Amino acid sequence: MGLRTARGTVLAIDAGNSKTDVAVVAADGTVVGAARGGGFQPPRVGVEPAVDVLAEAVDRALAEAGTPSVDHVSACLANADLPVEEEQLAAALRRRGWGAGVAVRNDTFAVLRAGLLEDAEPRGVAVVCGAGVNCAGMLPDGRTARFPAIGKISGDWGGGGGLAKEALWHAARAEDGRGGPTALMRTLPAHFGLDSMYALIEALHLGRIAASRQHELTPVLFATAAGGDAIARELVDRMAEEVVTMAVVALGRLGLLEEAAPVLLGGGVLAARHPRLDTGVRVRLAERAPKAVPRVVSERPVLGAALLGLDHLGAPPQVHARLRTHYTPT
């Protein structure tokens, strides 16, 4: 029997800039359909073309599940940074007819909910540091804490992309004499087989090296910091400070500073557990929020999107547990 007559079914969507994960979850917590698709970038291509990318994966997952629609669509989407954007994207998803109800959140909430292991009363804060940096927190009563996370205009600093740009800035100034010495002036161009920052600047400016490849320099920055370079270490330390500042502010907004609340660390930069960054975050967090419990999230974010959907439908604990078992890392 298909899912047409089942109640409590969820379509979970976790859509990042580079890829989309989709899961169809039956009323008992079983994953009955899944698919992966391309990245979700409405600022670049427009809302409807971006949703078309989601649709390709959603259609495959629904077909595998044997159902044309579900009770609730829980979508955690990159670039849903403001409530007005969440509303616009939710309207676009409703027009697709995938579910009776639709809820759209920023993709940071997927990492947050996936890492909150207490499904009965999920509460805590997550900081995601990937290409950019963002933070979100939630309480069982539905209250949340969040940041616009649009970039410099909303007060943000860092993330993988931001760190790469800062490293390039310091390296360029070191080579031409405007800044202090740093090994980055050698390690950054060497990554691309070049012998100077001038050559790297020229290659980036003229498009011989795609701007999108700048993210490859973030691991180079961390390696240079591990080698003892002072400026590289300062950048890593500032990233740790930014992560902790966001977490502490979110904990304070939710009244969780005096509780043993989880602080979940996600995204490629934090998940890599670079020793200086990881230690810096934990030391600073212990100083400013002693009761906070930091943990790197290893669970897939699509699990978080699905759990948020089950929360919305009031699914019992055993349903959450069955779903978690499906996504438990082996």
Contact in structure between 209 and 200 (CB atoms under 8 Å): yes
Read off the pLDDT of residues 99-112 as tens digits, 9 standing for 90 and up: 999 999 999 999 99
Read off the pLDDT of residues 20-68 as tens digits, 9 standing for 90 and up: 999 999 999 999 999 999 999 998 899 999 999 999 999 999 999 999 9
In a 10 Å sphere around its CB, with 0-12 CB exposed, 13-18 middle and 19+ buried, how is residue 27 labelled?
Answer: middle
* DSSP conformational letter for 158: -
Query: Which residue in 317, 308, 27 sits closest to 142, CA to CA?
Result: 308
DSSP per residue, 205-244: HTTSS-GGGGGGHHHHHHHHHHTT-HHHHHHHHHHHHHHH
Helix (H) or strand (E) holding 308: helix 301-313
In sequence order, which ranges of 66-195 are alpha helices (DSSP H)? 83-94, 108-115, 159-176, 184-191
Quote the tokens at residue 258: 């005096």
**pLDDT reported for residue 311:** 93
**pLDDT reported for residue 330:** 61
In a 10 Å sphere around its CB, with 0-12 CB exposed, 13-18 middle and 19+ buried, how is residue 3 labelled?
Answer: buried
Instruction: Collect the ranges in the chain with pLDDT lower than 70.
Output: 1-7, 329-330
- The mean pLDDT of the chain is 94
Read off the pLDDT of residues 271-302 as tens digits, 9 standing for 90 and up: 999 999 999 999 999 999 999 999 999 899 99
Type of residue numbered 206: L
Contact in structure between 93 and 102 (CB atoms under 8 Å): yes
Count other C-beta atoms under 10 Å from residue 170's C-beta. 24
**pLDDT reported for residue 328:** 85
Strand arrangement, sheet containing 262-266 = 144-146, 133-138, 124-129, 262-266, 293-296
Point out which residues pair with 135 in neighbouring strands: 127
Contact in structure between 95 and 102 (CB atoms under 8 Å): no
Contact in structure between 203 and 188 (CB atoms under 8 Å): no
Give the C-alpha separation, 242 to 74, whole Å.
29
- Torsion over CA of 267, 268, 269 and 274, rounded to 10 degrees? 120
